[in-house]
Amino acid sequence: MTRIAFIGGGNMARSLIGGLLKTGIAASSVSVAEPRAEARQELGREFGVACYADARPAAAEAEVVLLAVKPQVMPALRAELQDVLRQHRPLLISIAAGVRIDQLERWFGALPIVRCMPNTPALIGAGATGLCANSRVSPPQRAVAQRILDAAGLTRWLEDESLMDTVTALSGSGPAYFFALVEALEDAAVAQGMPRETARALAAQTCLGAGRMLAESGEDPSELRRRVTSPNGTTQAALESFSADGLPRMVARAVAAATRRGEELAAALDDAP
């Protein structure tokens, strides 16, 4: 495995580092730039990786540089990293939501770039990540990027970068939609008289089991839903209520709104120097 520099040592970087080390990657091949002193100390203690306060020394010898920072931090990184990246031309991987490949090329030069959108279940190795690459990424570099993100869960490549905003709206923001559903299920059961702790445990386990059935069976969700729905039974009554309230339309509007917001955030960065 090549040397990897993580720029940013937050939760997502920690999950990727931990996953890589579990696959047998040596801690000596990983460096991290993290401005917060306490976070640097924790990273060093937990993973044994080299930690730096600044991005430049962390990235200096790296063959892969992974930008694990907020989108609004990207323009500020330009001054610190531009010379290093243009000189060494590493594979640049970005997990910053909404930041397009052409923006990264403008800030950091004509590098091989992979844009990724992981989600928070990556923190427990159950993430879902969409990836796309520019034409400068070689097949071996593509494999390296996939190996890094595979350490956090499922990965899927997209050839059309415009779909990355949809990835953000679907799987990037999707865990929040799921948590909102579990909250609603829990509150509904409590309103029927069930103790909250029991309602939460049953709702969470039900969603976990249903998700596993869908992921592991490989069957269409509509078919799995049909099998659970007995004619004129309790499930049919609930699903008819969902339909009457316009659940499919609500979800479609929500995903469209999140997609538009991702496009707006990227457009705002176009004005960055």
CATH of residue 34's domain is: 3.40.50.720
Domain with 253 in it: 172-263
pLDDT band of residue 204 (cuts 50, 70, 90) is very high
Q: Rounded CA gap, 231 and 248, in Å?
A: 21
269 within a domain of the structure (yes/no): no
258 within a domain of the structure (yes/no): yes
Q: Do residues 53 and 135 both lie within one domain?
A: yes
Positive or negative CA dihedral for 89, 94, 99, 102?
Answer: positive
Beta strands in 108-173 (DSSP E): 113-117, 127-133, 153-157
pLDDT band of residue 272 (cuts 50, 70, 90) is low
Judged against a pLDDT cut of 90, whether residue 200 lies above it is answered with yes
Q: Do residues 101 and 154 both lie within one domain?
A: yes
- Average pLDDT on 4-32 reads 92
Beta strands in the chain (DSSP E): 4-7, 30-33, 50-52, 64-67, 91-94, 113-117, 127-133, 153-157
Judged against a pLDDT cut of 90, whether residue 53 lies above it is answered with yes
Q: Rounded CA gap, 6 and 97, in Å?
A: 16
Query: What pLDDT is stored for residue 2 in this prediction?
Result: 81
Residue linked to tokens 């929040």? 176
Q: Do residues 214 and 149 both lie within one domain?
A: no
- Tell me which of 73 and 128 has the higher pLDDT: 128
Mean pLDDT of the chain: 92
Q: Do residues 142 and 180 both lie within one domain?
A: no
pLDDT tens digits, 138-177: 999 999 999 999 988 999 999 999 999 999 999 999 999 9
Q: Rounded CA gap, 127 and 149, in Å?
A: 9
Q: Do residues 118 and 220 both lie within one domain?
A: no
Q: Do residues 26 and 95 both lie within one domain?
A: yes
271 within a domain of the structure (yes/no): no
SS3 138: coil
Query: What pLDDT is stored for residue 189 in this prediction?
Result: 97
253 within a domain of the structure (yes/no): yes
273 within a domain of the structure (yes/no): no
Q: Do residues 139 and 222 both lie within one domain?
A: no
- Long-range Cβ contacts of 171-174 (<8 Å, 24+ apart): 171/117, 171/119, 171/128, 171/129, 171/130, 172/97, 172/117, 172/118, 172/119, 173/119, 173/258, 174/119, 174/128
Query: What pLDDT is stored for residue 118 in this prediction?
Result: 92
What percentage of the chain has pLDDT greater than the value 90? 78
Phi, psi torsion values for 169, nearest 5 degrees: -70, -30
181 within a domain of the structure (yes/no): yes
Q: Which is nearest to 177 in space by CA: 153, 152, 211?
A: 211
Query: What pLDDT is stored for residue 263 in this prediction?
Result: 86
pLDDT band of residue 273 (cuts 50, 70, 90) is low
Domain boundary among 138, 162, 186: 162
SS3 127: strand
Structural domain count, the chain: 2
Compute, in degrees rounded to 10, the torsion defined by CA atoms 22, 155, 58, 27: 10
Residue linked to tokens 């990983």? 30
Judged against a pLDDT cut of 80, whether residue 82 lies above it is answered with yes
- Average pLDDT on 75-83 reads 87
Domain boundary among 162, 188, 208: 162
pLDDT band of residue 267 (cuts 50, 70, 90) is confident
